[in-house]
Chains A and B, each alone.
Chain A
């Protein structure tokens, strides 16, 4: 293998607290993901006991030993200073939004703004999670929100259960095709 650069390839997973970033990375990763979980102390959510405080880290091992890292940003916004640093040099962004938290559409807006520069250079695909627990807002509402931002072309927005590997793989595939619709897979 020639390319040393390839070793630094990474896909970024970001999104709201409890959206399923750590779970999604674990679903795809070929190694046991390294996560820096901590007990939740600030009452950010009552949904779960732990949250990621630094980052999640998983790996996709490609043929020939090449690695693609899967980086998860911490969900809580007090860690948002890390987001851009983690994303730098990444292939693209998977944004997971927890539909069972209050005001998910505002969260969407917030994350898209935070990653604006990164998305402009790469691409984003969005997974709306926890729709089994809360079916509103709908995907149609998400798309409307994205239209208001006048981001063209509109990114992929899918219903995702982060516990389902197929769902997570599908968002990542959409991200790859967004980067290059001419992509072939073999």
Chain B
């Protein structure tokens, strides 16, 4: 089917992404010799129709994320163990190693035919542990699984008390991501009372203020999430006066707070906005609207603890005995959603502080979970 078509059509232009130099040479030579009229290599992303990625390489995931979402590229992977790898990259076709070149053109044209596979990252990280991912509703329903690597990265913990400068990798600059522009749009339209819009992406995000602060967009979560995660080249987006809906029938309204939360939590990847002090205490003013926003791992317990008292992100993580990156992602989302209260009067406090919340009862590992724990489990499992 598609194979026949691709036989007749112009050669597919293929970009090799995160492919080792030896592989690249072999693939290049083989294509040159045997498939010159079917597939040609390019190193220009703008000209590529499909990318081929070595899924076994550490940088594969990051490289995929960096593909500009506007670029409607098909993606094909290859891996030693395609089945196992498929759970990590569920939306892409994965071929086995060594690469069978005969099957390649067909896989490439399949991928080209559905460039929507560009949201390469699973909507729900696979291999979820005991927690069951909840069904996806509109924009940003919960994934709520313990496998948070896709969402919260893999940064190690900082020391419990500051002893040296926190490395740059723990921070991101919101201006490099959609959240920077969206936040500015919400703040500016609130200040001026005028509806604005974030333009420059393939859908508008319109921001209105009256009677309630709303964001309206025809973006689906599957598109908005990868865009939020990606560093956007400078000047990709711009703020304009709201020109009205671009696709009225597909447009959905969100409380501004909810959309800011989602776009920020997707950008964070376990990091804090730059210039944040992870040892400074803050408090959660209110619970996020967890029935409508994206729920990152551990978010409910973080919220329950952080509404109780001022505490630093590092402190919260240690009290809950969870990796700090989950708390950093939560902090980032809460910050942009306007849910954090900063202790302006207080000098910088380091943890643990007098005002820090009492530690929750320790988890009862190995023992039969408490009644509350069993109810929780029931709620998560019985769908």
Contacts and interface: CB of A to CB of B under 8 A. Distances in A.
B155 to A, nearest CB: 23
A182 B363 contact: yes
Contacts of B307: 153-154
Given A138-B212, A171-B291, A185-B376, A157 B286 contact: yes
Given A136-B211, A186-B377, A181 B305 contact: yes
Contact of B373 (A68, A153, A169, A185): A185
Given A180-B360, A181-B305, A166 B371 contact: no
Interface string A9-48: 1010000000000000000101000000000000000000
B379 interface: yes
A154 B135 contact: no
Given A153-B308, A158-B291, A183 B301 contact: yes
Contacts of A139: 255, 257, 289
Interface stretch (A58-66, A75-83, A101-109, A110-118): A58-66
A100 interface: no
Given A156-B287, A185-B380, A186-B373, A180 B300 contact: no
Interface residues of A, number: 48
A183 to B, nearest CB: 5
B283 to A, nearest CB: 9
A62 to B, nearest CB: 5
Contacts of B370: 180, 183
B134 to A, nearest CB: 5
Contacts of B137: 166
Interface residues of B, number: 50
A86 interface: no
B255 A174 contact: no
A172 interface: yes
Given A176-B372, A184-B373, A185-B369, A157 B361 contact: no
Contact of A182 (B257, B309, B362, B382): B362
A9 to B, nearest CB: 6
B369 A184 contact: yes
Contacts, number: 137
Interface in B354-368: 359-365
Contact of B379 (A155, A173, A182): A173
B72 interface: no
B35 interface: no
A11 B307 CA distance: 22
Interface in A115-146: 127, 135-136, 138-140, 143
B95 interface: no
Contacts of B308: 152-153, 181
B25 interface: no
25 contacts: A9-B371, A60-B375, A60-B378, A63-B377, A68-B378, A138-B255, A139-B257, A143-B286, A153-B309, A155-B287, A156-B290, A156-B303, A157-B286, A158-B287, A166-B134, A169-B379, A170-B142, A177-B304, A180-B360, A180-B370, A182-B301, A182-B359, A183-B370, A184-B363, A184-B365
Interface of B: 129-131, 134-135, 137, 141-142, 211-212, 255, 257, 285-287, 289-292, 300-305, 307-309, 320, 359-365, 369-380, 382-383
Interface of A: 6, 9, 11, 28, 30, 60-63, 66, 68, 91, 127, 135-136, 138-140, 143, 152-160, 165-167, 169-174, 176-186
